[in-house]
Structure 1
Amino acid sequence: MLSAPSSALHRVLPRQTFTRFLRILLPSFVADRIFPEQRTAYRVHPTSYLDGLRGIAAIIVFFCHYTENNFSALIPSYGLNYDRTSSLVQLPYLRIIFSGRPMVHIFFVISGFVLSYKPVQALHSRDLDKCYTTLASSTFRRAFRLFGPCVVSTFLILCMRQIGWLRPARDTLAEELSKWKGAVMHQITWPWSWDVDLKPAYDIHLWTIPIEFAHSMLLFMVLLMLSRVKLHLRMASVFSLIIYCLACGKWAGFEFLAGLFLAEIFVLKSARERDWDSTDREKAQNSKSGIILKTFQIAIILIGLFIGGWPNFEAEKTPGIRYFHSKTPMPFATMDYLAPQKFWFGISAVFMVWAIGELDSLKRFFEGPLAQYCGRISYAVYICHGPVMDLFQGAVIGRPAVPAHGEQEETDFAAAEGLLPDSGVKSVFGISTTFQITVSWFVGLWLLGPLVIWAADIFWRAVDNPIVNLGKKLEMACLDDSEPSPRSQGYSLAA
């Protein structure tokens, strides 16, 4: 039965329009249950586990920024809180749940893998035309895919600032539009700095987008350059470029090209396994070499998760992490204080992406419905989580009451009730002790998280998907599939 407001809306709007409007506003997994006839079927493909991994990584990025913004006491490594005991969630392995920085490196390795997969498949099938067509299509659509949703989201942030929902704008609308244009042109869509953290205005979390675009173009160029080269020479060339990027301190180039190398390995392995039956596969897994390999891959996952807990500060004091910190090679060891973690995050990301694809249990998890849903909305989560937190975290997380200070006769006396009243989760559970901080963090996450997922789901369907489809339509509209003239054998500028 429809509620009163819904019934009133239903009387105003035609049924079909009302249904479409309601479906847009509801999270897709809720709308699919209410309108099952409109449900979209998603199939699992060979690299679906990478989509699931990217989705879980995007959620962890949100957890990271939520924790850094609201519960900074949980950021140091376990045992390095100087004013209180540490929380259990700060322990190695547990702290991975809000370690967002290594997830960015996983994004880049996955991007290198996924963008390379179809062209590499075509090369292994000796179909150069298909490889070139795929490369041309990916290159044409990449800017729409990456920049389009960011342009829309930052414009929405501008609007929310102007109407006072976010930090009220102090400039006129014309001045704000000029600043927004500058942020779009010289930060969000600025690929010329390669791997410099530009900290874009309107949404600082979009700093990875120009880096993603620039290295996508680098990847396509490398694929094109090596498309006619023999397999072993091509893989040796890519591996050499990977080492060259590390020697130059270019972590993003290393990660994208390592993704290409992993795609080659994946295609080769898939081709070999197509000739196996279930008995051959079982024998290979249960052989001594197979067990050793699985043990090695599990060890890689465990080491990668440990490195993923690398703290933002005082890595040289963190047990275990300080060993990796001391072994950081040049030039990463001296570039800046974040460079050592970028090196180790990149190395562990490459090996973890490879190992997850080899371990059936982990691969099945990332192919499961929860991870796949997170994968579908992953880009929207990355784009939306910052603005949603800015909108709601003040009310949801709040603060404890500030006690009165000073003497009543003094002019600087501030009564707690009038100055900073208590509000939100922090006022209910407190933040005086480590236990209170942990409980407030957990409860706040469960309250704010659904809002982020809901907003991302709507953005995914209302903005992200339509922009992807627009890129495809523009590509098809711009294609020149006409036959060349027999006389000119090419283009003619004659009227």
Structure 2
Amino acid sequence: MRGVAAFCVFLCHYFYTCFVIAVGWGSEGSNYHFLKLPFIRLFYSGPPMVCIFFVISGYALSLKPLKIIHSVSSPTSSSTISSAAHGEKQQEHNDYSKLLDTLSSLVFRRGLRLFLPPAISTFLIVLLLRLGVYEWNRSFASDAEFLRNVQEIHYTRFDSATEQFVDWGYAVLNFVHLWDWDAFAGSTGIDVHLWTIPVEFRASMVLFLTILGTARLKPGVRMGVVMAWCGFAFLWERWEMCLFWMGMVLAEGDVVREMEVKQEKGREEGGLSERRGGGGVLPIVEPTAVAMTGDVMLMPQQRPHKSRRHPQPHPGATAQGVSSDMYIVGSEDEASHSSTYPHSSNNLSSTSSRRRSGSAPLLSTTPSISYPFYESRQARPSATTSLLPPSPPGHAILPTILLTISLYLLSQPDINSHLTPGWITLTSLIPPWWTEHYRFYQSIGAVIFVYAVSRYSSSAPTAVASSTMTAPIFSSYFNPRTFFESSVAQYLGKISFAIYLVHGPVLHTLGYTVMNFVWTQMTGTETDGQYIIGFLLASLLVVPMVVWVADVFWRGVDEPVVKFARRVEERVVVAGG
């Protein structure tokens, strides 16, 4: 999901230089091109993707700390220690100590993870500028004949290299902007697209403080408190913080369900042990269907673990892990190595096929667990189907309804939604104090979208009772998770942060060069048809170039930065910390 969203952001910044894409279909009695219709416009819309990023980030950053918090009072964990009061207190102390260690690590490495790659990417821009590469297209970058809509800042070349690098240094210092909540505070003219990174950092710090402050609350109370804060943030138009907190709420719900599944599984295995040999004397052989691989798609991809009971991390996980995390997701350790996808429900066929093919889970780096939404009403699963009961008929109908609603809300036009058919009434309901109208429904849609997609199964089960085939058949024909779990989406997830960082300079150098050549030497721009054909021809080179440069940056910069942050932490923390 991250990778696809990052690619859509790139397309937004590519398309909006040439075409008016911010207005909706039918706005102001014109703009009737079908590409501006709801749903379709999401393929090249950037702002909705930012909202999705922030929900994902809140989920990923809070998942591991929340798992630790729940382990304090988990019956599963408490059964492994002495029942004496002293032993229970010692276990609780150890768990909270682990929580503090985790939060300390997240806070310490967050700045390095978020700010060091952009510092390197902008430094490379300065080098290209001094080498004269940016001068190739300086006149083109401001020529309205070619770039007919948005003409982005084309970084200025100073008279001396010293002035240039001093300006870069000041820009980097200003980029690490912590001191106010202006959405574009810290943004730099070196690459105007990077404004979300300071926002991500500030929101992450508040999220970590929230986790710490609510750590000792009961789960229901904690969720209520965070939901109240979401509402308070929404009233103050702090949409970014609201999305981070809603990601935490989704993670809390998943952790609660996971603990319930573990407890239920423990009771089932306990009963099986008593039937076989009593007291667990005889070994219990798990059914093959109990194999659970990660099915989530909000985090960077990892290969399935070889062991179910003691999963091993992906090669290089301690230093790299989810190195391809999106700029709003954070580093591999910030997104738990035991992540589970929100509200996912796995099945034997999907997990087994992924193990055989070696395809990577989309969020989790350790086994995830399906959630028994209908446990009390279904028969126990057989060893040939799934750990959990088959889903009841129609289980994909509600997610599909929610998905449709979320996609429509995400399609809110960035400009003049109050003049757009289908949005006039909805826009009138936006509170008058909201200055960025387009963020209102896009934020709501992002939360619903992440939740709705997560409610689909990875793929339709093959071994289920005939009475339960309605929903699996339906979801097999319309299952967004199949798309997000594809190899292309997984690859884009790996390089998503790099796509975000390099697509700007690639467009301003190689991209503008190709576009200029195609329009001036091949198609011309005299008619709209010539202009569009030239743009499409240029895209055949520009899009692959952005992906290739992003891949190089991911391998050469992004992954080493993750390892570097981990090494720095290991060297400076106190012994036993």
Residue 455 of structure 1: aligned partner: 549
Residue 296 of structure 1: aligned partner: 398
**1:479 correspondence with 2:467:** no
Residue 117 of structure 1: aligned partner: 63
Distance 1:306 1:433 in 2: 33
The C-alpha deviation readout for 1:155-184, integer Å capped at 9, x for no partner, is 111111111111461331111122111211
Please list, as runs of the form range in 1=range in 2, the aligned pairs for 1:146-157 lying within 5 A after superposition. 146-157=114-125
| Alpha-carbon spacing, 1:266–1:364, altered in 2? closer, same or farther (3 Å) | farther
Counterpart secondary structure, 2:16: helix
Counterpart secondary structure, 1:389: helix
Residue 376 of structure 1: aligned partner: 494
The C-alpha deviation readout for 1:300-337, integer Å capped at 9, x for no partner, is 222222233333322111111223211112431xx2xx
| Mean Cα deviation higher: 72-81 or 317-326 | 72-81
Distance 1:302 1:194 in 2: 32
**1:363 correspondence with 2:505:** no
How far the C-alpha of 1:365 sits from its partner, in A, is 2.8
Residue 401 of structure 1: aligned partner: none
Q: Which amino acid aligns with 1:353?
A: V
**1:340 correspondence with 2:434:** no
The C-alpha deviation readout for 1:251-281, integer Å capped at 9, x for no partner, is 1110111111010012223333454664688
Sequence identity (%): 33
Residue 443 of structure 1: aligned partner: 537
User: Contact (CA 8 Å) 2:113, 2:561: kept in 1 or not?
Assistant: yes
Residue 166 of structure 1: aligned partner: 134
Match of 1:99 among 45, 70, 78: 45
How far the C-alpha of 1:229 sits from its partner, in A, is 1.4
Counterpart secondary structure, 1:72: coil
Q: How many residues in Structure 1 have an aligned counterpart in Structure 2?
A: 395
Residue 189 of structure 2: aligned partner: 201
User: Contact (CA 8 Å) 2:108, 2:569: kept in 1 or not?
Assistant: yes
Q: Which amino acid aligns with 2:204?
A: S
Residue 42 of structure 1: aligned partner: none
Q: Which amino acid aligns with 1:319?
A: P
User: Contact (CA 8 Å) 2:409, 2:444: kept in 1 or not?
Assistant: no
Counterpart secondary structure, 1:475: helix
Using structure 1 for the length normalisation, give the TM-score.
0.74
Please list, as runs of the form range in 1=range in 2, the aligned pairs for 1:38-437 lying within 5 A after superposition. 53-69=1-17, 71-80=18-27, 86-126=32-72, 127-167=95-135, 169-186=157-174, 188-198=175-185, 199-274=187-262, 275=265, 278=381, 285-287=391-393, 291=394, 294-332=396-434, 335=435, 339-360=436-457, 361-398=479-516, 423-425=517-519, 428-429=522-523, 436=530
Q: Which amino acid aligns with 1:370?
A: V
Please list, as runs of the form range in 1=range in 2, the aligned pairs for 1:22-41 lying within 5 A after superposition. none
Distance 1:285 1:395 in 2: 54
Counterpart secondary structure, 2:507: helix
The C-alpha deviation readout for 1:99-137, integer Å capped at 9, x for no partner, is 111101111111100000111111111132322221111
How far the C-alpha of 1:472 sits from its partner, in A, is 0.2
Distance 2:520 2:16 in 1: 15
Residue 419 of structure 1: aligned partner: none
| Mean Cα deviation higher: 149-158 or 359-368 | 359-368
Distance 1:438 1:315 in 2: 26
Distance 1:195 1:372 in 2: 33
Structure 1, gaps ≥5 residues long: 1-52, 399-422, 484-495
Distance 1:192 1:56 in 2: 32
How far the C-alpha of 1:465 sits from its partner, in A, is 0.8
| Alpha-carbon spacing, 1:302–1:445, altered in 2? closer, same or farther (3 Å) | farther
Counterpart secondary structure, 1:397: helix
Q: Which amino acid aligns with 1:116?
A: S
User: Contact (CA 8 Å) 1:388, 1:452: kept in 2 or not?
Assistant: yes
The C-alpha deviation readout for 1:465-488, integer Å capped at 9, x for no partner, is 1111100000000111169xxxxx
Distance 2:509 2:8 in 1: 20
User: Contact (CA 8 Å) 2:28, 2:420: kept in 1 or not?
Assistant: no
Distance 1:438 1:300 in 2: 35
Distance 1:459 1:133 in 2: 31
Residue 45 of structure 1: aligned partner: none
Q: Which amino acid aligns with 1:318?
A: T
User: Contact (CA 8 Å) 1:247, 1:330: kept in 2 or not?
Assistant: no
Distance 2:420 2:224 in 1: 37
The C-alpha deviation readout for 1:63-88, integer Å capped at 9, x for no partner, is 0000011x224553334488x87433
User: Contact (CA 8 Å) 2:519, 2:531: kept in 1 or not?
Assistant: no
How far the C-alpha of 1:201 sits from its partner, in A, is 2.0
Distance 1:182 1:324 in 2: 43
The C-alpha deviation readout for 1:40-65, integer Å capped at 9, x for no partner, is xxxxxxxxxxxxx1110000000000
User: Contact (CA 8 Å) 1:242, 1:258: kept in 2 or not?
Assistant: yes
Using structure 2 for the length normalisation, give the TM-score.
0.64
How far the C-alpha of 1:227 sits from its partner, in A, is 1.0
The C-alpha deviation readout for 1:135-168, integer Å capped at 9, x for no partner, is 1111111001000000001111111111111146
Residue 46 of structure 1: aligned partner: none
Distance 1:85 1:431 in 2: 21
Distance 2:444 2:574 in 1: 42
Distance 1:433 1:94 in 2: 25
Higher helix share: 1
Counterpart secondary structure, 2:206: helix
Distance 1:234 1:446 in 2: 50
